[in-house]
Structure 1
Amino acid sequence: MAQHQIASPLPGVFYRSPAPGEPPFVQVGATVTADQTVGLVEIMKQFTDVKAGADGVLAEFAVDDNAMLSPGDVVAIIETD
């Protein structure tokens, strides 16, 4: 099975949910579409959606919630057909 790595588009803090106390955008093992949001990156109070980028199943998150990211860091891995 092929894999697609979701990379951070910019530096900042990665969040798995839209707000504190809210459920995550997606859980490991869930089916995702290419345009589906899997998390957010926040830098200086601006939030950017992190999209899956490929259809498939979210296999794992490569970083923890609230982790600091650099541009290009792998956020998650999707198993594609």
Structure 2
Amino acid sequence: MSTVDAQMPGVFYRRPSPDADPFIEPGSVVQAGQTIGLIEVMKTFNEVKAERDCRVGRILLDDGDEVDVGQTMFEVDEA
């Protein structure tokens, strides 16, 4: 098990818009470079991308949660 940690402080979002499906769910298999979340900083949305192929374990934040640098957002396993 490894983690995906925030690279910047801001507000975390699991989906691209309020009426859209989440980028990922627990159990999702993602590929390196795939968008798995967003962090909003001063009205600018920054994509959180998977660094490698993996399977999502737990998602530790909900839409609108504040996140700090180094805070764990996701737990992932090898795909």
What's the TM-score, normalizing by structure 2?
Answer: 0.91
Mind listing any 5+ residue stretches in structure 1 that lack a counterpart? none
Residues in 2 aligned to 1:59 and 1:53: alpha-carbon distance in whole angstroms: 15
Match of 1:50 among 40, 44, 48: 48
Number of corresponding residues? 79
Q: Which amino acid aligns with 1:15?
A: Y
Mind listing any 5+ residue stretches in structure 2 that lack a counterpart? none
Q: Which amino acid aligns with 1:33?
A: Q
Shift of 1:4: 2.3
Identity %: 35
Match of 2:35 among 34, 37, 40: 37
Residues in 2 aligned to 1:47 and 1:55: alpha-carbon distance in whole angstroms: 23
Q: Which amino acid aligns with 1:25?
A: F
Q: What is the RMSD computed on CA atoms of the aligned residues?
A: 1.1
Runs of 4+ in 1 over 3 A off after TM superposition: none
